[in-house]
Amino acid sequence: MAAAAATAKLQEQFDAGLQTRPDFTIDQPLARYGAVDHAVWDQLYRRQSALLAGRASDAFLSGAQSLGLNVAHVPSFEAVSERLMPATGWRIVAVPGLVPDRIFFEHLANRRFPVTWWMRRPDQLDYLQEPDCFHDLFGHVPLLTDPVFADAIRAYGQAALAAHARDARALTLLARLYWYTVEFGLMREAGAPHGVKIYGAGIVSSKGESLYSVESEAPNRIAFDLDRVLRTRYRIDTFQKTYFVIESFGQLFEALGEGVAARLADPAALLDGPAFGAGDVLAGDTVLTRGTGAGWLEDGDV
Ligand code: HBI
Ligand code: FE
């Protein structure tokens, strides 16, 4: 979402009386949820949980339960934070929507996850462009109960904050890394129906992609490699052409912390070289499954 559109959205919310603090946080306006909002949460939670059993990482499913997200109404962010804090020291903060990059990184670096307060409409059940409460709270927050994953996200926030201050080009690299892991990452799991389990928030909060990412023959599934990911473009308008597969959250912690911090010291080295297309398979790749490419749109990589 372009910065201008995000600012317009913030202005619209400000006008609606949602007082945004300088760090873009607000008090969760619990009174503003109507019966439709609660019904959408209930329907999405039940549908995705049923779909993800056997497809999502165990840490995700147990995290969602332990935070009390398995309720028929939009959860109270305060109640969720009260359960999350003892587990890993994280809490969630309500925001009107996408916030400026630096603000976002600053929250992550301080173990605060920004969660959009509003719920999508019933006619947006299967897809909406920007993150809503269900994407952020159901998609991103359960794994923050896992200490290693939580430390990986915090390390990413710290590395991103330092790099962002130094060189705006770092943002391209940071966005690619976040996209192919935190949003659309898979992890290897021997014995799982397809040898992989889902952990990315963009996948777990999407009905179609929860199935496509682990079962379709169309996409590539390639072993995660930090430099490879930092140079690979991605899709924001369709399912991913390629999913990168990590071995463990420990590997993710290495990549999102020291790994990316080292690369961000000299973003030009990675940005000056060629960027790979979202559907490319390279000679150096460890390919788990090579996709058929069925249904791919040619242009549109970002
Ligand atoms: N703001 N609320 C919110 N949520 C995000 O996921 C988010 C953001 N601002 C910037 C941002 N993400 C990007 O910097 C990352 O996706 C890389
Ligand atoms: Fe997200």
pLDDT in tens, 121-170: 999 998 888 999 999 999 999 999 999 999 999 999 999 999 988 888 89
Q: 77-88 and 147-166 helices cross at what angle (nearest 10)? A: 100
| CATH number assigned to the domain comprising residue 278 | 1.10.800.10
**Calpha distance 226→249 (Å, rounded):** 14
Confidence of residue 32 (pLDDT cuts 50, 70, 90): very high
The whole-number pLDDT of residue 237 equals 86
How many domains are there within the chain?
A: 2
Mutate to test the pocket of ligand 1, among 18, 93, 98, 164 (most ligand atoms within 8 A of CB): 98
Residues 88 and 116: their CA atoms lie apart, in Å, by 21
The minimum-distance atom of ligand 1 relative to the CA of 178 is 17
Distance CA 165, CA 266 (A): 13
Select from 145, 160, 183 the last residue of a domain: 145
Instruction: Tell me, yes or no, whether 29 and 119 share the same domain.
Output: yes
Q: Quick: pLDDT tens for 73-107.
A: 999 999 999 999 999 999 999 999 999 999 999 99
Per the residue annotation, which of 183, 206, 210, 213 is the catalytic one? 183
Q: Tokens 């609660």, residue?
A: 38
Residues facing 176 on adjacent strands:
none
Spell out the alpha helix ranges (H) of the chain: 3-15, 35-52, 58-66, 77-88, 101-109, 133, 147-166, 170-178, 201-204, 207-215, 226-230, 249-254, 260-264, 267-271
Q: Is 230 in the same domain as 262?
A: yes
Query: Is 99 in the same domain as 197?
Result: no
